[in-house]
Amino acid sequence: MIRGIRGAATVEDNAAEEILSATKSLISEIIEKNKVHPEEISHIWITVSPDLNATFPARALRDLEGFDRVPVMCAQEIPVDGALERCIRMMVTAETSLSQAAVQHVYSGEAVRLRPDLVQKS
C-alpha cells in the first residue's frame, strides 16, 4: 500500500546549516519510526515557510545513503497570516505494509502545534 507520511520541524534561524540539519533529522526519524527504506519511497515533497530561503532543504537528502534516486521537490508554503514561522514540512510517499493508523508522523520543535493529534507520545 502507498501511504503518505507527514513530518514538520522548525528552526531558530534562516541559516543553511540549521535547515539542512533539521531536514536530515526529520527524514531520519520518519524512516526509523516507520521502517521505510529509500527504495520504497516514491517521492518526497518538502515545503518551507516564506521566511526560510537560505538553502534548498532537499540538499540534505543528497548526502544520505540510498537517496540519490529518490525524487525530491521543494516549494514554499502559501503565506497565511499567523502561520507557523521558520517551518519545514515534509510529505514522504512510500510503499509500506503499515495501516494508516500505524503510520507514525513526526513533528518536532514548534511544529508539534501543527497537528497535536498526530504527535506520537514517547
The pTM (predicted TM-score) of the whole model is 0.92
Residue 114 CA to its chain's centroid (Å): 13
* Cβ within 8 Å of residue 31, ≥6 positions away: 37, 38
pLDDT in tens, the chain (122 residues): 999 999 999 999 999 999 999 999 999 999 999 999 999 999 999 999 999 999 999 999 988 999 999 999 999 999 999 999 999 999 999 999 999 999 999 999 888 878 767 766 54
Annotated binding site: 6, 89, 107
Domain ranges of the chain: 2-113
Annotated binding site for prephenate: 6, 89, 107
Q: Active-site residues: which are they?
A: 6, 62, 74, 77, 89, 107, 115
**Domain spanning 2-113 has what CATH number?**
3.30.1330.40
